[in-house]
């Protein structure tokens, strides 16, 4: 599975990139039809500390799934976005079975 990681207006460090790959690769155990993923990291203009946003677009055979989460760290944002995608995968599977 191919994962494209894009960090807007900053360079993501190696540790963050490895963390993202690890989290995204775990999604393959929930669905074997994953073609690839796009991950976009950006710092939102906000007075709040929770200004680190992660967008994940998961390409499945059929229709893509999308989640965007904003938290205080990129790791937390990626983690919650992956959880949201995992829930969407389960819902998607239930629809196709039922």
Locate the domains of the chain by residue range.
6-97
41-74, pLDDT tens digit by residue? 999 987 788 899 999 999 987 789 999 999 999 9
Give this prediction's pTM.
Answer: 0.92
Return the CATH fold of 6-97: Double Stranded RNA Binding Domain (3.30.160)
More confident residue, 45 or 22: 22
User: Residue for token digits 């995608």?
Assistant: 85
> So what's the pLDDT on residue 24?
95
> So what's the pLDDT on residue 32?
84
Using an 8 Å Cβ cutoff, are 33 and 60 in contact? Answer: yes
> So what's the pLDDT on residue 7?
96
- What tokens appear for 46 in the block? 């906000």
Average of per-residue pLDDT values in the chain: 92
Q: 21 φ, ψ to 5°?
A: -60, -45
């Amino acid at each position: 599975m191919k994962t494209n990681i894009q960090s807007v207006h900053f360079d993501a460090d190696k540790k963050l990139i490895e963390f993202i790959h690890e989290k995204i690769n775990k999604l393959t155990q929930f669905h074997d039809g994953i073609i690839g993923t796009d991950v976009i990291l950006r710092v939102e203009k906000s007075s709040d500390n929770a200004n680190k946003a992660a967008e994940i677009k998961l390409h499945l055979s059929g229709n893509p799934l999308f989640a965007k989460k904003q938290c205080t760290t990129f790791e937390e944002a990626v983690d919650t976005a992956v959880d949201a995608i995992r829930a969407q995968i389960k819902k998607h599977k239930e629809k196709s079975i039922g």
